């Protein structure tokens, strides 16, 4: 019976948030390796994951995960060169992947034309997850953040991409953004075994008061992430929590 397991962790600070998220990732990793011999994870961008990336690259954690069995993807990417400092790939590469023995990572090609880059990444996922048409990849873990407007990955409020139930990856054009974006679609996020949201800081108080209302019909993209057969974990620090 498909079930969503919902957990909310409120931690003392960002460091504790990183430790909590790392422990959830470790548990998902252990289950994936035991059952399938490989662990698939998709990283988001933004600044919130940085303490987690740095923790996972620390000596005690670098030995916890056998990075030769970890396959890294991205939830979204800005349409710019990989060496651009706004690149989500660059962030994860700098803060984590270059510091552990990670060799299996597949970035979205922000330097390419957005539509063809989205199509190419969707094909890569279909190949890697051995999908037949109409199927969606089932990631072991997807790491997400939430913007103050309630966006997650690069799914923004009111964007037609939120209604896309056909594609795995789509290109997004938001007038408020300086670049086009590439993003996994909601069906992919909601097919994950585990989605972990990270949020920290008082700046997220307001958006969380709506985003964490999972009993209401969702209005924000972050509220629409409800894995239909998996875990939904919100890991927030005490500054982000208004309780
Ligand atoms: C991106 C991210 C985005 C991010 C939120 C939160 O490409 O920007 O994928 O969805 O998670 O914007 O960003 P912060 O962590 O910086 O608050």
Closest residue by Cα to atom 8, ligand 1, is: 46
Distance CA(71)–CA(68), nearest Å, equals: 8
Per-residue pLDDT of the chain (243 residues; tens, 9 = 90+): 888 899 999 999 999 999 999 999 999 999 999 999 999 999 999 999 999 999 999 998 988 999 999 999 999 999 999 999 999 999 999 999 999 988 999 999 999 999 999 999 999 999 999 999 999 999 999 999 999 999 999 999 999 999 999 999 999 998 888 899 999 999 999 999 999 999 999 999 999 999 999 888 999 999 999 999 999 999 999 999 986
User: pTM, whole model, 2 decimals?
Assistant: 0.97
48 touches ligand 1 (CB under 6 Å): yes
Query: Cβ–Cβ contacts within 10 Å for residue 9, how many?
Result: 18
Burial zone of 66 (CB within 10 Å; 0-12 exposed, 13-18 middle, 19+ buried)? exposed
Report residue 122 as tokens. Answer: 């969707």
Ligand 1, from 45, 86, 195, 240: best to mutate by most atoms within 8 Å of Cβ?
A: 45
- Is residue 114 a contact partner of residue 79, using CB atoms and an 8 Å limit? yes
- Is residue 133 a contact partner of residue 22, using CB atoms and an 8 Å limit? no
Domain ranges of the chain: 8-188
Query: Yes or no: is domain 8-188 CATH 3.40.50.1360?
Result: yes
């Amino acid at each position: 019976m498909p079930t969503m397991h919902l957990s909310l962790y409120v931690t003392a600070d960002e460091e504790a948030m990183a430790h909590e998220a790392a422990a959830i990732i470790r548990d998902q990793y252990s289950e994936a390796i035991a059952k399938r011999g490989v662990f698939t994870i998709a990283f988001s961008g933004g600044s919130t994951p940085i303490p987690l990336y740095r923790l996972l690259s620390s000596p005690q954690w670098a030995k916890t995960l056998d990075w030769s069995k970890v396959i890294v993807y991205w939830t979204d990417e800005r349409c710019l060169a990989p060496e651009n400092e706004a690149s989500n790939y660059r962030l994860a590469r700098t803060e984590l992947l270059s510091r552990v023995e990670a060799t299996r990572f597949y970035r979205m090609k922000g330097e390419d034309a957005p539509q063809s880059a989205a199509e190419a990444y969707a094909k890569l996922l279909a190949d890697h997850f051995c999908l037949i048409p109409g199927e969606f990849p089932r990631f072991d873990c997807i790491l997400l953040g939430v913007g103050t407007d309630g966006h997650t990955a690069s799914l923004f409020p009111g964007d037609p991409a939120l209604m896309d139930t056909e594609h795995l990856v789509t290109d997004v054009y938001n007038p408020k953004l300086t670049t086009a974006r590439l993003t996994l679609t909601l069906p992919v996020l909601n097919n994950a075994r585990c989605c972990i949201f990270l949020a920290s800081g008082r700046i997220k108080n307001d958006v969380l008061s709506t985003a964490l209302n999972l009993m209401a019909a969702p209005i924000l993209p972050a509220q629409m992430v409800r894995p239909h057969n998996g875990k939904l974990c919100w890991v927030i620090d005490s500054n982000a929590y208004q309780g």
